[in-house]
Amino acid sequence: MEQLTALIIQKVPALAVAPWAVTLLLIGIVAFIILQFAMVFAGFGTYLERKIAADIQGRIGPNRVGPIGLLQFLADGIKLILKEDIIPTAADNHLFRMAPYLIFTGSFAAFVVVPFGFSLIAADLNIGIYYVMAVTSLVSIGVLLAGWASNNKWSMLGGMRAAAQIVSYEIPVGMALIPAVLIAGSLSTQDIIRSQGGLLGIFGWNLFHNPFSFFSFFLYMVAALAETNRTPFDIPEAESELVSGYNTEYSGIRFGFFFMAEYADVFVVSALATACFLGGWQIPFFNAASLPPVWANLLSLGVFMAKALALVCVIIWIRWTLPRLRVDQLMRMSWKYMVPLTFFNFLGVSLWVLVFKGKGIPQMIASIFG
């Protein structure tokens, strides 16, 4: 950001009187772009979800609004905005209004460190992964608030379940991401991606770095599914038991916020998995830095989005296949299976990095053959 400001001031010397204004403006623009992206993606996510669900179930899915139903999400959005925003009389008015924003903020703030491309990132924080873990925790507060403030017993059960679930699955999520951090030696998402480049192609990815990181990827996906309340871990929403849980009482655009946050979450999860295990925007056998910056960015953006979207599709595919766990089974799975396994992986990767000086299996094989 500072560089960009400096660049602009250099180009337009008249702005030098108020460099902070330029920075502020830039931040505003970037935030706007990110927000727009997140919204559009949330819309597109719903479309994708419905289309894939329909395909799996032998149906057609949305196909009336726009070409092959692509504009369905706009219609949905307009509908949600025009709907009456009902607040139950017995609800805690302020908390009830606040909860969707908290959830929304929690999931959208994570977009800041999503590395879309070669240099396309809102802020390359040096604590990127840690930051994501921290801001997404906001969601659990929001969910708990939503459940509590609705003054509905089903919602409260949903909120409680959600809070318990998110808190317990945060541990395996964090632990499963650590291998990538250890291998790259940095918490910054861009650094992690850069460490996966090189001439090894897809074998440079952390996924293939060593057996532990390979399993970490799958553990991360499972734990992240649980953290975002997706099937088979969607017990806080569980429409067949809890009648949608914490968002039962919400309507109109507030309900829309929950919806958007869910899809934003799904994207963040996929993006993080892509960045940490699937090489992010790295184009196999190709050094993006050797291109002019515009092309490098566009190309890497395409690669990153393709990978992330593929993961989103897998998450949706899982949702339409599996039944839902029970709440005690979910907790058992977290504490008895996920946590020990991720810790085991964590230990394994640490030892690997220590013993082999950070070299992965493909690298070692490559060095054998010269």
Partner 1 sequence: MSLKSYINDIWEAVTTTAKGMRITARYGIDVKEEVTIQYPEQRGPVFERFRGFLANDVKTCISCNMCVKICPVDCISLEAVRGADKKMVLVSYDVNIGRCMYCGLCVEVCPPKSLTHTGGFEKSMVARDEMVLHFIHEDAEVIRQRVARQVAEAAAKAAEEAKLAESQPKPAAPAAEPEKK
Partner 2 sequence: MSATIDQTALPTQEMTLNMGPQHPSTHGVLRVILRTDGEVVVNARPDVGYLHRGLQKIAERNPYGSFMPFTDRLDYLASMNCNAAYAWAVEKLAGIEVPERAEFIRVIVCELNRISSHLISFGSFTADMGAFTPFLYAIRERERVNDLFEEICGNRLTYNYCRIGGVSADLTDGWLGKVKEFLDYFEPKIDEYNNLITYNKIFVGRLANVAVVSPEDCVAYGLTGPNLRGSGVAFDLRKDEPYSVYPKFDFNVCVGRGEKGQLGDCFDRYIVRIDEMRESVKILRQAIAMIPDGPVIAKVPRVFKPAAGECYFRAENPRGETGFYLISDGSANPYRCQIRTPSYVTMNIFEKVTEGLMIADIVAVIGSFDIILPEIDR
User: In this structure, what are the phi and psi dihedrals at residue 13, rounded to the nearest 5 degrees?
Assistant: -60, -25
Which of 320, 343, 344, 356 binds partner 2 (CB under 8 A)? It is 320
Stretch that binds partner 2, among 28-36, 57-65, 249-257, 290-298 (CB under 8 A): 57-65
Residue 328 interacting with partner 2 (CB under 8 A): yes
Q: Residue 146: which of 83, 102, 110, 107 has the closest Cα?
A: 102
Q: How many CA atoms does the CB half-sphere of 77 hold within 13 Å?
A: 17
Nearer to partner 1, 55 or 239 (CB): 55
Nearer to partner 1, 9 or 56 (CB): 56
DSSP 8-class letter at 234: -
Nearer to partner 1, 235 or 283 (CB): 235
Residue 58 interacting with partner 2 (CB under 8 A): yes
The listed partner (partner 1, partner 2, none) that binds 318, CB under 5 to 8 Å by sort, is: partner 1
Residue 242 interacting with partner 2 (CB under 8 A): yes
Structure tokens at 84: 């009456």
Nearer to partner 2, 204 or 245 (CB): 245
How are the residues of the chain apportioned to helix, strand and coil, as percentages rounded to the nearest 5?
Answer: 70, 0, 30
Smallest gap, in angstroms, from Cβ of residue 273 to partner 2?
A: 22
Residue 336 interacting with partner 2 (CB under 8 A): no
Q: Are 93 and 145 in contact (CB under 8 A)?
A: no
Binding site for partner 1 (CB under 8 A): 52, 55-60, 317-318, 320-322, 337
The listed partner (partner 2, partner 1, none) that binds 317, CB under 5 to 8 Å by sort, is: partner 1
Cβ partners under 8 Å of residue 351, min gap 6 = none
Nearer to partner 1, 87 or 338 (CB): 338
Cα end-to-end distance, the chain, whole Å: 41
Cβ partners under 8 Å of residue 158, min gap 6 = 143, 147, 236, 237, 238, 242, 244, 245, 246, 247, 248
The listed partner (partner 1, partner 2, none) that binds 234, CB under 5 to 8 Å by sort, is: partner 2
In whole angstroms, give the CA distance from residue 89 to residue 87. Answer: 6
Nearer to partner 2, 8 or 167 (CB): 167
Residue 323 interacting with partner 2 (CB under 8 A): yes
Site residues (vs partner 2, CB under 8 A): 53, 56-59, 153-154, 157, 161, 231-232, 234-235, 238-243, 320-329
